[in-house]
Structure 1
Amino acid sequence: MTPDLLTGRVGWVLGRLLLAAATLLLLSAVIFTVTDVLPGDAAARLAGPDADPAEVARLRADLGLDRPAPERYLEWLGGALRGDLGVSAISGRPVADVVGERLPNSVVLAGVALLVAAPLGVAAGLLAGMRPGRRADRAVTGLSVVVVAIPEFVMTVLLIVVLATTLGWFPQVSTAPLGGRPWDAPAAMVLPVLSLVPLGFGLSARMMRSTTAGVAATRYVEAARLRGVTGGALAVRHVLPNAVQPVIQVVAVLFGGLIGGSIVVELVFNYPGIGLELQQAVGRQDLVMVQGITLVLAALALASLLLGDLVAGLVDPRERR
């Protein structure tokens, strides 16, 4: 990489970081506004239906709900920048502690699912794209469409019925051992992981198939064929490096989406992740917890996107010239 290209790359990274920071700032305002204007009175809900107006007013003052929304937003944002996401009005626990406890569980769940799904999807998409219109292409395309179309809830139920209830191979719930993490009992993680694998496989396979077909039709690959390069050598050495870049970005997006979007899987299997905690916070109308978790998930998604762009740039053959 030439010095000019390196300088341009550093400038690009700094620009992306600034854009990510501005996007997160905008998202924080949207998150606070949406949760702040939810119907109902949070203080009245917490006080209970039998509370008198004086008690509700006192609780509203304790929660800071009697102050203007912009003032509360700036205070919340300042606390978030210091790592203080507030305290749950329901459990009394700091939101940052809950996130620190639950988020690693979801990160591992999504990470393991992608470690299984992405290589399978890339391999299947590469095979299909090298033979467009043939039997392998039709099989991979059809399978990817089917698995992406199946809702997560249906997939989890099928896995429970077949692998847990009928065959008894795995437990139906994924509760962590006392004082431990879910991966301390690996068998309990199998079904949650398998529930997320089809989506990751389907999306990565479809993207890889599309980019592979485009690269395989270029003059560069045709010239390699004329030099006698065929089969696996052609696919791995000449097509894969040029076709995998968009797939990396898709996987990065998918990783962030699986962490925040695996609520159904975590709920069905009682998996102690951040998605389950968010669902419970919404059900309890714990707005402080909802705000904090949603902000962290937004930041994680942006970080995943940025990392995907960086990795895609590193593996792009044009960046190494």
Structure 2
Amino acid sequence: MNHAALAALAVRRTAAAGLVLVALSVLIFAATEVLPGDAAGTLAGADATEAEREQLRRDLGLDTDPARRYIDWAAAAIRGDLGTGYVGRREVVEVLADRLPNSLVLTTLAMAVAIPVAAAIGLVAGLRAGRRADRAVSTATLVAVGVPEFLVAALLIAVFAAGLGLLPEVSLVPLGGRPWDSPEVLVLPVAALAVAATAAAGRLLRASVADIAATPYVEAARLRGVTGVRLALRHVLPNAAGPAVQVVAVMFAGLVGGAVVVETLFNYPGIGYELQQAVANRDVPMVQGITLAMSATTLTVLLLGDIAHLLLNPALRGRA
């Protein structure tokens, strides 16, 4: 693919991702409009009069047309202004700047654990498709994928925190500190995230490896006596690079969603925990801003993975 074609491809895929983000922004705004409870009522308190609540609604702009509020919110988001939360009057961008590094550390560590294990699982099962090892791996990963993150986290807490007392039950971080200042608070959240990510990525890689292992190219290598690690490293992995990049991108997207549950369970000071708190407090601008930022980040990673997949797969490049 020449540079002009690559640029055109990038523009098309970016435009498509942009349209998806616009559609998601509409859904995010519409969903937060129907959150249970009344933000003005929550902020005013139980003892406030109806007149005081109505005044607060006017002050917050909640009495204007929803379509107009969406347009104003979307226009501000394009300028980089994601709004100000109702609780504590915190700027959403400032909250993201403070909490995002913590979530990125958690996600990166989970990926660092999941990627090599998933690659090993995918290779072992894919190269032995239909055999006992493949069936065992497929069953184990299917069970792991089916177990929700909150149950995995609860089991880890019960065994390693409450049972053995080896690790803290919650990820308490001193005021002004960072999770990496106390590495022990990262272990259980990372493990809880990595379990499902490893299983899901392993299953996806297993399918890709099995397809590649059945190609005439790999069969010819086997006939020449190439087996085991040499076959995997020299003939299978290079051809699995494109699908592997997409798997990593999908894994990241899954970790972003899973982090909301895991951070909440462990009181981990990340974006997911902030989002849960914002929902609980009916802090609509904070919910909207954080959700939109998470959606944009996920779409960006999936877009990069899609383009990388095309670059690494000559057959797909020719059809792009």
Q: TM-score surpassing 0.5?
A: yes
Matched, 1:188 2:188: no
- Please give the alpha-carbon distance, in whole angstroms, between the structure 2 residues aligned to 1:122 and 1:216: 15
Corresponding position of 2:114: 117
Is the contact made by 1:124 and 1:140 (CA closer than 8 Å) also made in structure 2? yes
Show structure 1 runs of 5+ residues with no match.
Answer: none
Task: Output the amino acid matched with 1:101.
Answer: D
2:47 is paired with a residue of what secondary structure? Answer: coil
- Please give the alpha-carbon distance, in whole angstroms, between the structure 2 residues aligned to 1:175 and 1:80: 32
Give a deviation string over 1:182-217, Cα, whole Å, max 9, x none: 112111101100111111110111111111111111
- Please give the alpha-carbon distance, in whole angstroms, between the structure 1 residues aligned to 2:241 and 2:119: 8
Identity of matched residues, % = 53
Show structure 2 runs of 5+ residues with no match.
Answer: none
Is the contact made by 2:35 and 2:282 (CA closer than 8 Å) also made in structure 1? no
Shift of 1:287: 0.8
Shift of 1:239: 1.4
| Aligned residue among 134, 149, 161 for 1:164 | 161
Shift of 1:312: 2.3
Is the contact made by 1:241 and 1:316 (CA closer than 8 Å) also made in structure 2? no
Shift of 1:263: 2.2
Give a deviation string over 1:62-82, Cα, whole Å, max 9, x none: 111122112211111121112
Shift of 1:319: 7.5
- Please give the alpha-carbon distance, in whole angstroms, between the structure 1 residues aligned to 2:143 and 2:158: 19
Aligned-CA RMSD value: 1.9
Matched, 1:285 2:282: yes
Shift of 1:261: 2.7
2:2 is paired with a residue of what secondary structure? Answer: helix
Using the size of structure 1 for normalisation, the TM-score is 0.93
1:262 is paired with a residue of what secondary structure? Answer: helix
In the TM superposition, 1:1-321 aligns within 5 A as 5-316=2-313, 318=315
Task: Output the amino acid matched with 2:191.
Answer: L
- Please give the alpha-carbon distance, in whole angstroms, between the structure 2 residues aligned to 1:195 and 1:213: 28
Give a deviation string over 1:131-167, Cα, whole Å, max 9, x none: 1222321221122112112221221122112212222
Is the contact made by 2:209 and 2:236 (CA closer than 8 Å) also made in structure 1? yes
Shift of 1:254: 2.2
Shift of 1:176: 2.0
Is the contact made by 2:37 and 2:282 (CA closer than 8 Å) also made in structure 1? no
Shift of 1:317: 5.4
Task: Output the amino acid matched with 1:163.
Answer: F
- Please give the alpha-carbon distance, in whole angstroms, between the structure 2 residues aligned to 1:88 and 1:170: 34
Task: Output the amino acid matched with 2:83.
Answer: G
Using the size of structure 2 for normalisation, the TM-score is 0.93
- Please give the alpha-carbon distance, in whole angstroms, between the structure 2 residues aligned to 1:141 and 1:41: 47
- Please give the alpha-carbon distance, in whole angstroms, between the structure 2 residues aligned to 1:66 and 1:265: 36
